[in-house]
Structure 1
Amino acid sequence: MTFTVKITNPYPKGSVKELLEKRLLIPRKIRHFLRTKKHVFINGEMINWQSPVNTGDLIELIFDDSDYPTKTIPMGNKDLADCLYEDEHLIIVNKPEGMKVHGNEPKEIALLNHVSSYTGQTCYVVHRLDMETSGAVLFAKNPFILPIVNRLLENKHIQREYLALTAGQFPEKSLVFKERIGRDRHDRRKRVVDQKHGQTAITQVSLVRHCANHTSLVKCRLQTGRTHQIRVHLAYHGYPLIGDPLYNQHTAGRLMLHAYQLSFTHPLTLKKIKVQARSDSFEKELPK
């Protein structure tokens, strides 16, 4: 797979080496290939590795198979990719409930395959939603951008906000849940609060309104991304999600959890990106 990346440098002045290593997170081996093949151009000219790169300079990087080996996956149905945002490097789509983000088997078709068909190229998962959860999901369109957005995710620079319908009348305007989460030793599908051995998990919850049938609509913002984090935290505190097949014994219908907003600063342009995802099925199930 040969592809060229062109960006207008949004960063402060620095050397080519600093740009590739610290800003663009290009692995050492690939930086070596770029250097030996002379595949780095600044403003259309081949450069010295210590040459300065100024804000506004045009950067051109050429990658081939020895840098990023070709990866192919089965193409899905492009009509099932509900695009919310797209540029040369990233795409955000609105996932329906009941669809996996990626398959567990090589030939299994999931949202990743539909998005790849929509873009005409193999895409890469940045973060995941549970199969039962709907909403905004971010994908990388090439292997170059993937580690850059992964760092944004790890550093909590990608904000993910959810709407959730819970059983019970939520008691306060806002709360922060910090219980650690680990695997359930008795059911491999589930997670549990495990303060001793679990991983750090932080969920900010704010009340939107109390609803009919003794339920509450809340907003949840993740500071960490543990499996089933919102579902586990809310159930642990006595407010399980309506429609949750794992953590709510008295449940029916769809899981009432929707990733309604995704926002971050684009790492290659430094522009603010914010998208909101509608869900007709979620809104239809909300009590008045």
Structure 2
Amino acid sequence: MQLSITLPKGTHETTIRDLLENDWLIPRKVRHFLRTRKNVLKNNQPVMFHETVIASDTVTMIFEDSDYTKPDISLGNKEAVNVLWEDEHLIIVNKAYGQKTHPNQPQESDTLLNDLAAYLAPKNQEPYVVHRLDKETSGAIVFAKHPIILPILGRLLEQKKINRYYEAEVSGIIKEKKLTIDKPIGRHRHDRRKRVVDTKKGAQARTHVSVVEVLKNTTHIKCKLDTGRTHQIRVHLESIKHPIIGDPLYNPSSTYPRLQLHAKSLHLVHPFTNEDIVVQAMPSLFEIKQ
């Protein structure tokens, strides 16, 4: 695989070594092979790792097949993929309600990852999971298209630089216009499917909630995540006595046919181009008719 990246406007002068190690997170072993094979070029010329690059320089890396392990993914249905945005490095799609993000068993072939693998196969590309959405949640989700950008996107998630905004309909009336739920989340002791607020052993979790519309017995809200714990929004809203409508785990008395939770929009700055990417996963949850 060959990857050429033109450093965007605003890039500060740096060395090839620092660029690959600190900015692009190329693993040490792979950096060693790139250096010994002389497989890094600057503006189409071989370059030493101590040499510098600036904005508008093009850095090319030539990788061998053995540098990274390719994922073995069964091909699904490429026609089911709803693309919101893509380039050669990453792809953002609109996940359907009721579809798993990725397989949990080798024989599974009907997840979003399988469908993406089929969609990308003609381009000789493979999808890599960056984050996930629950099976019952629809909306925007980002995947890497090669292993080089995967750890960079992971770092952006950790640094809260991939902003994810959700919309939901919850039981009851939320009186506050805005609130922040800051409660640690851990595993349920007796049900492996569920998570609970766990103040002793749970991982930090923070959800920002704003009210969109108050209805007769329910409330339309928007949520922004500071963290990405499993079932975070569902657990947090249940913990304040406003579980999501249609949630089979945390609101079993609700008979609505689907979980009313949708990843409405996603925002990030492209790590290679500095492009500001904002996508909307339409239709809005509140426009979906059952």
Q: TM-score under structure 2 normalisation?
A: 0.95
CA distance in 1, matches of 2:156, 2:284: 30
- The aligned residue for residue 41 of structure 1 is 41
Structure 1 unaligned regions, length at least 5? none
Which of residues 148, 151, 156 is equivalent to 1:144?
148
Contact 1:158-1:262 within 8 A present in 2 as well? yes
Question: Are positions 1:200 and 2:201 aligned together?
Answer: no
Q: Please give the secondary structure, in 2, of the residue aligned with 1:172.
A: coil
Deviating 4+ runs (over 2 angstroms): 69-72, 279-286
Partner amino acid, structure 1, of 2:2: T
Task: Please give the TM-score of this superposition, normalised by the length of structure 1.
Answer: 0.96
Aligned to 1:132: 136
Deviation at 1:250, TM superposition (A): 1.5
Residue 249 of structure 2 is aligned to residue 246 of structure 1: yes
RMSD: 1.2
Contact 1:72 1:122 in 2 (8 A): no
Question: Residues of 2 paired with 1:200 and 1:280: CA distance?
Answer: 29
Structure 2: tracts of 5 or more residues without a match = none
Q: What is the Cα deviation at residue 69 of structure 1?
A: 2.6
1:107 CA drift (Å) = 2.5
Q: Is 1:224 matched up with 2:207? A: no
1:212-257 Cα deviation digits (max 9, x unpaired): 3x10000000000000000000011010000000001321210000
How far apart, in 1, do the equivalents of 2:285 and 2:168 lie? 13
Q: Which residue of 1 aligns with 2:101?
A: 101
User: In structure 1, what is the equivalent of residue 87 of structure 2?
Assistant: 87
Residue 277 in 1 paired to residue 287 in 2?
no
How far, CA to CA, are the matches of 2:23 and 2:70 in structure 1? 24
Secondary structure in structure 2 of the residue aligned to 1:232: helix
Q: Which amino acid is the alignment partner of residue 187 of structure 1?
A: D
Show the counterpart of 2:2: 4
Selected match of 1:169 from 165, 169, 173 = 173
Deviation, 1:72, is 2.5
CA distance in 2 between partners of 1:72 and 1:190 (Å): 29
Structure 2 contact 168–285 (Cα < 8 Å) conserved: no
Residues 224, 280 of structure 1: CA spacing in aligned structure 2 closer, same or farther, 3 A cutoff?
closer
Question: Which letter maps to 2:13?
Answer: K
* 8 Å contact kept, 1:102–1:112: yes
Q: Write the distance in 1 (CA, Å) between the matches of 2:247 and 2:72.
A: 34
